[in-house]
Structure 1
């Protein structure tokens, strides 16, 4: 046992390049493990960060921002309608911004838009609009120029089911996602495959 401890001590005190690189890798691994554990505890997911890749949520979220997403197992969705009643605001407007999968599909890039209100099956999705085939959220981007209509007009023509919601946006780091977006684009070019898991529109 003491011999093993001596070897470990010698490794950490060594001046060799290889030992230095290995020590750095071990330090990075420790940081990543701590980050993943804290992410699971706080956000309910091992990978809570998502990079914004479109301007549909401007001015409150911009292309290149990193957004932290909290899993629904750790929180619940407050719609804009409910937020206006209670005074609850996030990201510059009432209610929560949610990350969801269109039609529940894992093959497409997730969408991050605001939950406007909730409708039940059989109710019109908006005044004079089509009837909801099932219960769910009506959603919309915050950009008043490019997203004047609800997502359910064309982007996802049915309400967003609860099980399609990946999580709720909690924090934003401006422009920190540009490196990730650039890296994903390079991988797409090299492999011909989309790297959509950590990106959204």
Structure 2
């Protein structure tokens, strides 16, 4: 009930006020009502995604091209707590399936074998998280040079390789972009081996373009520029780190697609990056190219 001037009748009590609010065509009230209903809908979607993913925020925006072509700048990525729905062959209770194991079980995520993880470099909470693919696991003090693909290290021995022997147990990771991220993260000092406690979740799905909204608000929506020398000197190219901004829609740094095929317990790569087809193996004890 109203008084005739499109205002609620005070004598009608709270129910009359609520009824007026829900049905009035007053411009200011309609605007507020629509804004409130939109905010409520967004909030409910966020809560549902959080309930499914187990992490907050459940959506991150890709800020760089380090995971091209499988994740691109401006993509919105749905991230899930790594232990949720993880297969039984995930590495020793970490919930993460590294490339080597994934190849044996035909486990495919985000355009390649193995889980793509969002992690904190060196375990630093204040540092922008990185989103790259887990390649293989190393134990504390392990000489992982013998297990690595020689294409992805810039050394001829463990003594010349950063983070070798491994300063602690963890995952060796790498971006999928073979131009800007041609070496393992640990070989380039992006992070030491990634401890399970540093992992925020695994990338499950990508939604192209929607991440640009988040990047615009964060000031990271500038076009990705790769120096002209990068495509010619891949051995010295500076790697792009997948960066993640944590509030509402976190932004994450992506790795490039580096298909590889596992030789026994060793990692190996194929020449056909488009199809990730399996190549011939040389039977050695280290990761080799097909």
Give the TM-score, by structure 1 length: 0.89
8 Å Cα contact 2:117/2:200 also seen in 1? yes
Structure 2 match to 1:190: none
Q: CA deviation at 1:73?
A: 4.8
The residue matched to 1:59 in structure 2 has which SS?
Answer: coil
How many residue pairs get matched?
A: 192
Q: Distance in 1 between matches of 2:177 and 2:77?
A: 17
CA RMSD, Structure 1 to Structure 2 (Å) = 1.8
Structure 1 match to 2:184: 150
8 Å Cα contact 1:70/1:169 also seen in 2? yes
Structure 2 match to 1:43: 53
Q: Distance in 2 between matches of 1:3 and 1:169?
A: 51
Q: CA deviation at 1:200?
A: 2.2
The residue matched to 2:137 in structure 1 has which SS?
Answer: strand
Gaps of 5+ in 2: 1-11, 87-94, 147-156, 159-163, 221-243, 254-290
Query: Counting helix residues as a fraction of each chain, which structure ranks higher?
Result: 1
Q: CA deviation at 1:64?
A: 0.7
Q: 1:159 aligns with which of 193, 211, 221?
A: 193
Larger gyration radius, structure 1 or structure 2: 2
The residue matched to 2:144 in structure 1 has which SS?
Answer: coil
8 Å Cα contact 2:61/2:252 also seen in 1? yes
Q: 1:70 aligns with which of 73, 77, 80?
A: 80
Deviations 1:30-58 (A, max 9, x none): 21231122122110024211111111100
Gaps of 5+ in 1: 187-194
Indicate the larger mover: 145-154 or 118-127: 118-127
Q: 2:207 aligns with which of 173, 176, 183?
A: 173
Q: Distance in 2 between matches of 1:31 and 1:125?
A: 49
Q: Distance in 1 between matches of 2:21 and 2:214?
A: 34
